[in-house]
Amino acid sequence: MKAEADSRALWLVRLPQAFTGLEAEILHGLGAECVRKTGRDYLLIRIADPSRIRDSAAAKFLRWNLPVHHMWPCRPRETEGFIEKAAQAAWRKFGGARPQTLLAGPLDPGSPNRYFKTLASNLRGRALQLFPPECSSIRDAEQQDAGRETLFLLVGEEGLFCGLGSPLECNGYHPGGTRHIRQTSPAAISRAGAKIAEALHHPALRDVMPEAGAHWLELGASPGGMTAELLARGYRVTAVDRAPLDKRLARADGLQEVCRDVATFMPDAPTRYDAILCDMNGDARNSIAHVVRLAGRLNAGGIVIFTLKLTDAETYQAINDRVDEVVNRAAAAGLGQLAVTHLTYNRHEFTLVLKRGTSPCDDFGFPDHAGGGSIGP
């Protein structure tokens, strides 16, 4: 008897190492089966309902995802003419789909061995020669249209995996979601600078990026890695922390340092912010309470970037409950969820992107005077 074809879609999902112990529950939550582990932290899965990769409670655990429309299981190092054959296959299979560009990356981006990084870069270079010239006009991945399809190619010891997806659907501009940012540079004030650089991809993907010159309120700013990154992008920052900022930020243009406990921080009556960043340590339920208290000073349409520390929440259920609790508290204050994601430089924590509704008594039912009335000098 002929075996029935498996109608479930094949997908590549990236599961951060912080959650590898929860793999069985995450797969169950997705309604998916693991075909095999690939690269350092990818799973090749079969899934009956791919919308669960973006909509289910398990989705937040996946850093990046790609439908696998073509794969070539092989050992690239030992395959003669790998680049030429892979580039020709990409052109034959995807040339007609007119992707906005092609981006290639290694399945093991953290590897100190540069072999697959170089192979990916050479593969992109050769494939771009075959695709129409407009595919080459995107020189920086962050120039992509977040909603248009890109051809992503991932290479590693296991071979080649290709798929079409928009950066928004895949959850990041770069293949795998990561752009390697040096964290050990002597100029970096803290690792958190790389974290906010990646976090800012998420408002950019959703077209809600604050303009240069926008005023950020930063809660839990010391020593100032994120502050430095925001200032470098031309933002103004009011940075609140009970610990001082790094001396290198002294007298930085656009910075107002407030050295005190966030609980006692009250902005002057007319002050409004375009965005709030909260990276306070401690229980996320306390941190979100401070954001909620200050959200009355956030302009309509303003965003919040919030590090949701998973203190004492270790199990799949406890993590989901904690995230739901924080998201629900924010929603009750008019801050709607745009993204909950795990970033490359996140540890046992998620990054939330929230947005304040657009009218005085806005779409989230948040009256403008609520919170605002209780905040003042």
Would you tell me how many other CB atoms lie within 10 Å of the CB of residue 99? Answer: 21
Question: Binding segment for ligand SAM among 11-19, 278-286, 314-322, 341-349 (CB under 6 A)?
Answer: 278-286
Question: Binding segment for ligand SAM among 23-31, 89-97, 219-227, 364-372 (CB under 6 A)?
Answer: 219-227
Site for ligand SAM in 88-117 (CB under 6 A): none
Contact call for residue 222 and ligand SAM (CB under 6 A): yes
**Do 228 and 337 touch, CB atoms closer than 8 A?**
no
Measured from the CB atom, the residue of 27 and 294 that comes closer to ligand SAM is 294
Site string for ligand SAM, 281-300 (x = CB under 6 A): xx------------------
Measured from the CB atom, the residue of 69 and 233 that comes closer to ligand SAM is 233
Would you tell me how many other CB atoms lie within 10 Å of the CB of residue 268? Answer: 9
Contact call for residue 224 and ligand SAM (CB under 6 A): yes
Contact call for residue 226 and ligand SAM (CB under 6 A): yes
The minimum distance between CB 232 and ligand SAM, in angstroms, equals 13
What pairs with residue 306 in β-bridges? 278, 352
Contact call for residue 200 and ligand SAM (CB under 6 A): no
Would you tell me how many other CB atoms lie within 10 Å of the CB of residue 178? Answer: 18
Contact call for residue 365 and ligand SAM (CB under 6 A): no
Measured from the CB atom, the residue of 13 and 221 that comes closer to ligand SAM is 221
The minimum distance between CB 242 and ligand SAM, in angstroms, equals 4
Question: Binding segment for ligand SAM among 111-119, 140-148, 257-265, 310-318 (CB under 6 A)?
Answer: 257-265
Contact call for residue 15 and ligand SAM (CB under 6 A): no
- One of 176, 203, 225, 371 touching ligand SAM (CB under 6 A): 225
Q: What's the burial of 370, exposed, middle or buried (CB within 10 Å: 0-12/13-18/19+)?
A: middle
The minimum distance between CB 113 and ligand SAM, in angstroms, equals 30
**Do 99 and 164 touch, CB atoms closer than 8 A?**
yes
Question: Binding segment for ligand SAM among 10-18, 23-31, 157-165, 218-226 (CB under 6 A)?
Answer: 218-226
Contact call for residue 304 and ligand SAM (CB under 6 A): no
- One of 221, 313, 326, 333 touching ligand SAM (CB under 6 A): 221
Contact call for residue 263 and ligand SAM (CB under 6 A): yes
Would you tell me how many other CB atoms lie within 10 Å of the CB of residue 141? Answer: 17
CA distance 167 to 64: 9
CA distance 7 to 9: 6
Tell me which amino acid residue 320 is.
Answer: N
Would you tell me how many other CB atoms lie within 10 Å of the CB of residue 34? Answer: 16
- One of 198, 241, 257, 274 touching ligand SAM (CB under 6 A): 241
Sign of dihedral through CA atoms 63, 68, 74, 79?
negative
The minimum distance between CB 196 and ligand SAM, in angstroms, equals 7
Q: What strands, in cross-sheet order, belong to the sheet with 159-165? A: 70-73, 159-165, 150-156, 102-106
Measured from the CB atom, the residue of 41 and 349 that comes closer to ligand SAM is 349
What are the structure tokens assigned to 306, written together?
A: 């919030």
Tell me the pairing of strands 9-14 and 64-67. antiparallel
Task: For residue 226, give the H/E element and its range.
Answer: helix 225-232
Question: Binding segment for ligand SAM among 86-94, 199-207, 239-247, 335-343 (CB under 6 A)?
Answer: 239-247
Contact call for residue 262 and ligand SAM (CB under 6 A): yes
Contact call for residue 280 and ligand SAM (CB under 6 A): yes
Q: Which residues of the chain form beta strands (DSSP E)?
A: 9-14, 32-38, 42-47, 64-67, 70-73, 102-106, 150-156, 159-165, 215-219, 236-241, 255-259, 273-278, 298-309, 335-341, 349-356
Q: What does the binding site for ligand SAM look like in residue numbers (CB under 6 A)? A: 190, 192, 220-226, 241-243, 261-263, 279-282
